[in-house]
Chain A
Amino acid sequence: MNLNRVKHIILKEFIHILRDKPSLAIAFVMPVMMLLLFGYAVTTDINNINLVVLDQDMTSASRALIQAFQNSNYYVVTGYEMSYTGVKNEIDAGRAKAGLIIPHGYADKLSRGEQSPVQIVIDGSDPTVARTVFNSAQLLGQEKSAELRLASLDRAGLAQKIPAGIDLRPRVWYNPEMTSLRFNIPGLIGLVLQNITIILTAFALVRERERGTLEQLIVTPVKPRELIVGKLVPYIVIAIIDVALVLGIGVFWFDVPVAGSTALLLALSAIFLMSALGLGMFISTVAKTQLQAMQMAIAILLPSVLLSGFMFPREAMPKLVCFLGYVMPLTYFIEILRGIILKGLHLYQLWADVVPLTVFGVAIIALSSLRFRKRLD
């Protein structure tokens, strides 16, 4: 390995990147944009569901129930309708996701100690919203019933006779407020890094082939490994800047602090980058044109979003699909990121992910060097 030669390749590659505006944008604007977009758009926390109310009872008891729905923060009452058709129209038009129907005689039945039916109509087209409505409405109903029961027992002077029951005390670790943002940010850091590095490096060699400059390089004494290393170094530098950028946005803008060691996080990021850069290089040795390289990059990026556990819990996947996720370096890296950022795990707790990630990185870089050597002959 002639270091002087490698230095000149690195310099040249930096000039390419600096003079190419789209490359620069991919390197530094895309990560910020993706992080902000995903950070705000990808959320499974549902609040402020639009609720339409049909109150046929018009009593203080029915108003108390409506108030309870509003107070829960899950619902915003968008309107009061006078008929069932009115409720249907609102939900059909999408102005409301749920309808609360309190029938005539609600307060009377309650005061007589009878069970009093209340209907909640749910727009089930988005199951996530529907599930939230379903669960929260049920919870509200139970709470309200318990309250009423307690009040009537109290009136009968029997309140102290209620059995104590179980006192279940939930304590949520790592993400106590259970916000999906906290869960998403670490995964997002991995995803953004993967996308940037694979896309940029996939183009690195193909560009030379497409423009005919590779033919010129082949007749020079440059060795394949010198070319590969020289081309990788600039992207490693960019990727490291991106790690800092993305992590900074996560910590300071989205307020997701790193619970564990930042140094460990950076060290393991470097191992992941080796895999991602290697994958990009590999694409570069297989693809003949930049268009092909782009298509191959997408063919790797898209499944990795779905299979890595970034969005969907891998536990819920069928065995085969779940297994496919193990082929992707992002799967391991997201585990590592969540482990360090949310749980504050140490290296000894992360071996199961670090080892396969390292093996993958070494293998893919070796493979692309080998493939490239063949192409030179």
Chain B
Amino acid sequence: MSQQFSYEIAHLIGATQLMAGFGLLYQRRVFAVLNTFAFQALALAAAAAWQAHVQHAPHLYVTAAIALLFKALAVPFALHWLVEKLGIHRTVETALSIGWTMIVGVALVALSIMLVLPVTAAASALTRESLALAMSVVLLGMLMMITRRNAVTQVVGFMALENGLILAAVSAKGMPLVVEISIAFSVLVAMTVFGIFFFRIRERFDSLDVAYLESYRGDRS
């Protein structure tokens, strides 16, 4: 198996993840967002497993397993349960229309390509592509957090962002396992915090629209 081929497969998986990132922006139903997110995490697991196979780095299999178990299964199920439990409105509430979000998304991808190209001029084209992909996924995650009003979709945006980080990490050779595990745990903690947070704001405002929190900010004079 040639080096070239292994990179091509890696990039294809990365691109799948990017497409899923766009899919997240495109969906209008909360459940569809969760499914798309699960799909993205699955792609991440595949990317990690493929890198483990190619780099002969068994610890990346652990990363893949973590991604699969936590992000592709546990988190979507938990959020699914939360949405049902809290009786949240099933449509995604957007701050910016879906068409415009996608246009901004494409602009962000172009931006990350532009940024990555000069920085990594010395590196091979293949590393550049992985970096550009990962960075795009991160930026799309951020975009999702900004343009969606509902707290659940914001959490998904955060997770998607983190998917991009891990993608960058597995693509670069030699990231220690410790980092991965700590990231995975931090995600779990974040997930738990968000979960509690949901219950709290839900109790208080009868909604998960974070705009309601605005009027309770202390620093407004």
A, B assembled together: no
